[in-house]
Structure 1
Amino acid sequence: MPRYKNLDGTSGVLAYECAPGAIAVRFTDGDVYIYTDASTGRATVEQMQMLARRGRGLSTFISRYVRERYFDKVERKEGD
């Protein structure tokens, strides 16, 4: 996963991976959340992908507008 640039220096996002119609976001606690067109809407995924590539605003956008509308969550395993 590419590292998130975190231009503001205070993001809870560590890394991300974009795919057609989806984005996976790794947070600093190690958990990975997968957001899809089906779970959040196409415009939301596209906005998240743009913010991820820009390196600013992704965590805030998720906490304000997306919240729990993820498709899947992959929890960090001990030792990771």
Structure 2
Amino acid sequence: MKKYKNLGKNSSVIAFEEGEDYINIQFENGWIYKYSAKSAGMFKVDMLKMFANRGMGLNEYITHFAYKDYERKYRGIIEGPVWRK
């Protein structure tokens, strides 16, 4: 997973991992949410990827537009390190 830059300094997102049609987002509480084209639609997945790579606005976008659109949620490591805030 790639560490989220959190340029706004107020996000609970700490890391993310992108795939072709999905993004996994790890929050500071340890939960990882998978948003996929199947669950959220490709437009939302692309927006989540954009905000994740920008390092700002991801948590806000999720809260307002994709809160319940995740495919699954789980705890654990996908690949790479577990990031801490």
TM-score, structure 1 normalization: 0.92
* SS of residue paired to 1:74: strand
Residue of structure 1 equivalent to 2:79: none
Residue of structure 1 equivalent to 2:12: 12
Residue of structure 2 equivalent to 1:34: 34
Runs of 4 or more consecutive aligned structure 1 residues displaced over 6 Å after TM superposition = none
| TM-aligned CA deviation for residue 75 of structure 1 | 2.7
Alignment of 1:57-72 (within 5 A): 57-72=57-72
Hey, what's the Cα distance between the residues in 2 that align with 1:55 and 1:4? 6
The count of residues paired between Structure 1 and Structure 2 equals: 77
Identity within the alignment, %: 34
Hey, what's the Cα distance between the residues in 2 that align with 1:44 and 1:69? 9
User: Which segments of 5 or more consecutive residues in structure 1 lack a partner in the other structure?
Assistant: none
Residue of structure 1 equivalent to 2:45: 45
CA-atom RMSD in angstroms: 1.2
Hey, what's the Cα distance between the residues in 2 that align with 1:58 and 1:10? 11
